[in-house]
Structure 1
Amino acid sequence: MAELILIRHAQASFGAADYDVLSARGHRQSAALGLALKAHGTAPTACYRGDMRRHRETLDGIIDGLGIAPAPQVLPGLDEFDFRAVLDARFGDDLPPGLHDDRKTHFRALRETVRMWQRDEIAGVPERFEAFRTRVLAAVDAMTEAGGDSVVAVSSGGPIAFIVATLLDAPPSTMVELQLQMKNCAVTRVVFTARRRFLHTFNETPHIDAETMAEYLTYS
């Protein structure tokens, strides 16, 4: 069977004016993951990433650690949904204090907001859930039908969580529960044939052990 290795991006810049930039720790995480994948014998035959800066920077670090990999292909279907815009659309002019810069406030609001978005209950969002669903599944089709035996793809928590929920035949509401527990640089493995796909592992962190946990274990 072939393997699709889905990787959530490394730590970005939560609370900053531009979230779509890796932190210094995020750069270290991605390089450490590349080294760990190399130590486990990973030799990708194809590489993909979303069209976001944090995806590109994460994959660059992973490739540095691996030492060699095929030239990455960009799949915008792997991009995260615009969670900030969805939150803003829900709350309008009545944003809760700390919505975009306090982690507890942000993630508490995000859980219910994502479920409202999935039920198409929020007007004015830049992307409806059905469009998100369609593009993510199209990206999976593109990666698994291209013929690679070991495919590495860097994406974000939302798309990866949706893929996992779909493979488990779970309701869409499961997506946000998976998304909120996903670690930065976590690895999710999907094995596939020409006809079928199976979830193999979820939320692995091969670059983290007892000594490196304080440095590399992050969630946003």
Structure 2
Amino acid sequence: MSELLVIRHGQASFGHDDYDVLSDLGHQQAEAVGALLREMAWVPDRLVTGTLKRQRDTLTSMGFAGGGEEHAGFNEYDFGDLLQARFRGDVPDLVKGDRRTHFRTLRETVFEWQDASFDGASETYAEFAARVEAARAFACDTDAKRVLVVSSGGVIGQMTAVALGADRRHMMELNLQIKNTAMTRFVFNGARCSLNEFNATPHFMTPEGAKLLSYS
């Protein structure tokens, strides 16, 4: 069996004009998980990210300069676009600026997106699910024994829900639990892919490491 280790990117820049930029904390989180993998002698044979800057920069800060392959299927769903579509271009200021309100509203919005309860989004949920599966298949179509992927919370939630045979609602429930630079591990052999570990952060399990913990 081979391993597919999927790591969520480090903390990005919530509330800023450009979310797709790692914060200083995000870079520290990436350095910590990279150091842990080296300490464990877990050396990847293949590196893959989505095309988002926060994903690529996480891989670099982990210590894998030069990057790896890219597959857009590992990109996050466009949550800003979903909110714009749901609220028809008039997203309330509280949703945009208050973290708690934002994520509660996002959860509700993703459920409505899954049910196709509004239109105007650039991507349907069915299209999202299909591209995530295509990205997983791409990452697992290899002779490599250890594949390292840097992706995003929604993608990891979707992959995990599918591996568990859970209903689509679980995608978002899992998504909201995933910590920045958490590790989710699958084992695969050909078309078979099973969940082995979810949302693990041993690099935060010290007094100093605990200071690096974030969810968004």
TM-score bin (small chain): over 0.9
Q: What corresponds to 2:32 in structure 1?
A: 32
Contact 1:8/1:186, CA 8 A, preserved across alignment: yes
Deviation at 1:94, TM superposition (A): 4.4
Q: Distance in 1 between matches of 2:133 and 2:203?
A: 28
Contact 2:59/2:67, CA 8 A, preserved across alignment: no
Contact 2:204/2:210, CA 8 A, preserved across alignment: no
State the identity %. 43
Q: What corresponds to 1:57 in structure 2?
A: 57
Q: Give TM-score, length-normalised by structure 1.
A: 0.94
- What SS is found at the alignment partner of 1:212? helix
Q: Distance in 1 between matches of 2:67 and 2:61?
A: 14
Are 1:109 and 2:102 matched, yes or no?
no
Deviations 1:18-39 (CA, angstroms, capped at 9, x unpaired): 0000001111110111000111
Q: What corresponds to 1:147 in structure 2?
A: 143
Q: Give TM-score, length-normalised by structure 2.
A: 0.96
Q: What corresponds to 2:80 in structure 1?
A: 84
Deviations 1:38-85 (CA, angstroms, capped at 9, x unpaired): 111211000000000000110101125xxx8x8500110000010011
Q: What corresponds to 1:193 in structure 2?
A: 189
Q: What corresponds to 1:181 in structure 2?
A: 177
Contact 1:12/1:19, CA 8 A, preserved across alignment: yes
Q: Distance in 2 between matches of 1:219 and 1:163?
A: 18
> What letter corresponds to residue 39 of structure 1 in structure 2?
E
Q: Give the aligned length.
A: 216
- What SS is found at the alignment partner of 2:204? coil
Contact 2:60/2:67, CA 8 A, preserved across alignment: no
Q: Distance in 1 between matches of 2:133 and 2:89?
A: 34
Deviation at 1:148, TM superposition (A): 1.1
> What letter corresponds to residue 15 of structure 1 in structure 2?
G
> What letter corresponds to residue 142 of structure 2 in structure 1?
A
Contact 1:33/1:185, CA 8 A, preserved across alignment: yes
Q: What corresponds to 1:217 in structure 2?
A: 213
Deviation at 1:10, TM superposition (A): 0.2
Q: What corresponds to 1:8 in structure 2?
A: 8
Q: Distance in 1 between matches of 2:15 and 2:131?
A: 27
- What SS is found at the alignment partner of 1:124? coil
Q: What corresponds to 1:166 in structure 2?
A: 162
Contact 1:45/1:148, CA 8 A, preserved across alignment: yes
- What SS is found at the alignment partner of 1:4? strand
> What letter corresponds to residue 144 of structure 2 in structure 1?
G
Contact 1:25/1:215, CA 8 A, preserved across alignment: no
- What SS is found at the alignment partner of 1:25? helix
Contact 1:37/1:206, CA 8 A, preserved across alignment: no
Q: What corresponds to 2:125 in structure 1?
A: 129
- What SS is found at the alignment partner of 1:122? coil
